[in-house]
Structure 1
Amino acid sequence: MAYDAEDTRRRIFEAATAEFAEHGLAGARVDRIATAAKANKQAIYLYYGSKEKLFAAILRAKLEEIRVSISIDPDAMAESVGQIFDWYREHPELIRLLLWEALEAGDEPESEQEFRAGFREKVHHLAEGGAVRHLPEETRVRAAQDLLFTVMGLIAWNFAVPRTCRIVLDEQTDQDALARRRRTVIEAARRLASTPGVQG
């Protein structure tokens, strides 16, 4: 059978995503990634250069995935938030990767600029309608930025600390807690999006 470089890269990427989500950058082991990917360690260094560069590549890809997969309709905020909540529930590795990145990885100014541009696009879309429509043009973008980040926090924290979520809500299972939180977050987003006093 001929060597399939793209399939090897895909297997490495998937194995490394699971490894980094579980152990972080410092705790991840290249040999475990290689074993899980059914690849040799040399292939990992050949394709990605280092463990740090592999982590950065995965984080960039995951952030890009969420950027293109998720949109917020400024006139249907609650429905959009429900969809985003479901996306996070189906991709729990993203929150873990972001938490590890905040704890362990340094700044990457180049990739940061790339993602700033992507989020600016979402913010401008949000600024065209919904809760910030009535604001003066010079404050509308900042208000939309604050609204977007607030909504992201309302969603993400549920998946960052699932045990705390379950305990605080006094639910027996993570599933029960998340179902309850989904309803609550959607309602909170609906109220935020309909509040005429939202300011930047």
Structure 2
Amino acid sequence: MRGRVSEFAAHGEAGARIDRVAERAGVNKQMIYAYFGGKDKLFAAVQEHSLGLLLEAVPLTADDLPGYAGRLFDYLVDHPERHRLALWRMLENTPPTEAEERSKAGKVAELAAARTHDTALDPASLLVFIMALVRAWPSTYGALTRPTFADAAAQRAAVVETVRRLTTP
């Protein structure tokens, strides 16, 4: 999966080339087409795999949203290719996968159940705001460039504090 992730992270769905994916994977490109059915389906599979890794590594903790935001920030800094995949999907206006839709619906439901005391923000908006805050910093680092520890620590602290303020009644 590594070669597919790096190709799509570097070039997006539109710029990715099955020839390069096949070369990195050491397979014939016809095998990729036969297995996935096309570049769009391969991109969706890469997105789903990426989301699965993220969900396993950083499950939503509705009772500690600042901590969740911090862990998500850390994950995206440590896995910039995952962040770039999400950015490409948004830039290219690729529809979300079924797994992404299920994940979002589950998170919104979990937030709704855990935050009945706070009706100032609907759960879907709260999730969008948290994701936007978390994603804002890693996207400023450039093409797969890691920030210095001091920069990342300060930016992480800002994200966590902002989410704390956003979610504290």
TM-score, shorter chain, exceeding 0.5: yes
Residues of 1 paired with 2:61 and 2:41: CA distance? Answer: 35
If the length of structure 2 is used for normalisation, what is the TM-score? 0.83
Equivalences for 1:1-200 in 2 at 5 Å?
Answer: 13-107=1-95, 111-112=97-98, 114-129=99-114, 132-135=115-118, 143-163=122-142, 174-175=147-148, 176-194=150-168, 196=169
Cα 1:189/1:92, change in 2 over 3 Å? same
Residues of 2 paired with 1:104 and 1:79: CA distance? Answer: 31
Aligned residue identity for 1:191: R
Instruction: Check the 8 A contact 1:25/1:105 in 2, yes or no.
Output: no
Cα 1:115/1:33, change in 2 over 3 Å? closer
Cα 1:51/1:85, change in 2 over 3 Å? same
The runs of 5 or more residues in structure 2 that have no matched partner are none
Cα 1:104/1:72, change in 2 over 3 Å? closer
Q: Could you say which structure has the greater relative contact order, defined with CA pairs below 8 angstroms and 6 or more residues apart?
A: 2
Instruction: Check the 8 A contact 2:66/2:164 in 1, yes or no.
Output: yes
Aligned residue identity for 1:84: L
Give the CA RMSD over aligned residues: 2.4
Task: Select the structure of larger CA radius of gyration.
Answer: 1
- Residues paired across the two proteins, number: 166
Residues of 1 paired with 2:161 and 2:128: CA distance? Answer: 17
Deviation at 1:68, TM superposition (A): 4.3
